[in-house]
Amino acid sequence: MNLSRPNEALLGYLEYADVERNLSKLTIRDYEHYLHRFADWCESQKIQTLEKITLDDIRKYRVYLSEFVDVHGTVLSKTTQSYHVIALRSMFKWLTKRDIQVLSPEKIELPKAESRSMKFLRYEQVKRLMDKPDLHSPRGLRDRVLLEVLFSTGLRVSELVALDRDTIDLERREFGVIGKGRKHRVVFLSERSADWIKEYLATRTDDWKPLFIRYSGTKPGITEDGKKMRLTVRSVQRIVDLYCRRAHLPIKISPHGLRHSFATDLLVNGANLRDVQEMLGHKNIATTQIYTHVTQGQLREAHKKFHSEG
């Protein structure tokens, strides 16, 4: 394998990311997408070897990303552009360790992250959201359970859709998930969300493995395990968006916003930051500390409102 060639370097790096870095399948899929775009750009620029890449080439590639428009007329967000550069820098670090004479990865500066306000719901707003699904229909009951589980656990949406019904211990109200970096953690359910899951499963007449299934489209044969019936990440995003609109919430929330809401609710009610870190599956506590900026603001308002000398 000639690692100085873009496409071969890409394949070698992805194998390393899978076997040695143990990155999640989702992360590897994203890196593959980002690096293929870089390899295609190299081909368009007639760059046949990575050893010839200069800082000026990196600048041109960034301009290309900023001006990129896909077949649907969609441009790349600043965040997505950053992910492309992060993937490229990671590959160059790996190549350097393999003694391939490429541009020093330290010279590839990462873009400044966009400052975004964290979106989350207060508990009263979460309750409004939960009340919107129609519990008289299988789809509505599934959606209510889905919302309950998201808020009860703080799961990432990719972790949620991967859940199988036989991996959840409803008596102990816990289950295991493999999160980012293929890190295993135990996730706990509230008593209420466990009861909702029991009610939902009691209405299911199938033996399919996925906990959350779709109710539209073609059905697989009765001998199959129902893998094709599993809800997708995009489906869950649409479901959350639908009920946010029906609840007339003041902000547009995503499944990840419910994860933010879970963490914020815990901290506001006195949970330890380290415990929240474990529950969220964060590798670094610095990632969890972003929530303290939110809770500090709420605590300030509470102090002003309720303290006798406020």
What's the pLDDT at 224? 73
Tokens of residue 225, six digits: 């395990």
247 residue type, one letter:
A
Domains of the chain: 6-107 (1.10.150.130), 123-306 (1.10.443.10)
pLDDT tens per residue across span 56-94: 999 999 999 999 988 878 888 888 899 999 999 999 999
- In whole angstroms, give the CA distance from residue 82 to residue 65: 9
The residue written with tokens 């406020």 in the block is 310
Tokens of residue 111, six digits: 């873009």
Average pLDDT over residues 3-8: 91
Judge residue 171's burial from the number of C-beta atoms within 10 Å of its C-beta, 0-12 exposed, 13-18 middle, 19 or more buried.
exposed
pLDDT tens per residue across span 10-27: 999 999 998 888 888 888
- In whole angstroms, give the CA distance from residue 282 to residue 280: 6
**222 pLDDT above the threshold of 60:** no
**294 pLDDT above the threshold of 70:** no
**Residues recognised as catalytic:** 156, 180, 256, 259, 282, 291
Using pLDDT thresholds of 50, 70 and 90, give the confidence band for residue 299: low
- In whole angstroms, give the CA distance from residue 88 to residue 103: 11
Nearest Cα neighbor of 170 from 150, 149, 143 is 149
Tokens of residue 273, six digits: 């930051």
Average pLDDT over residues 145-166: 96
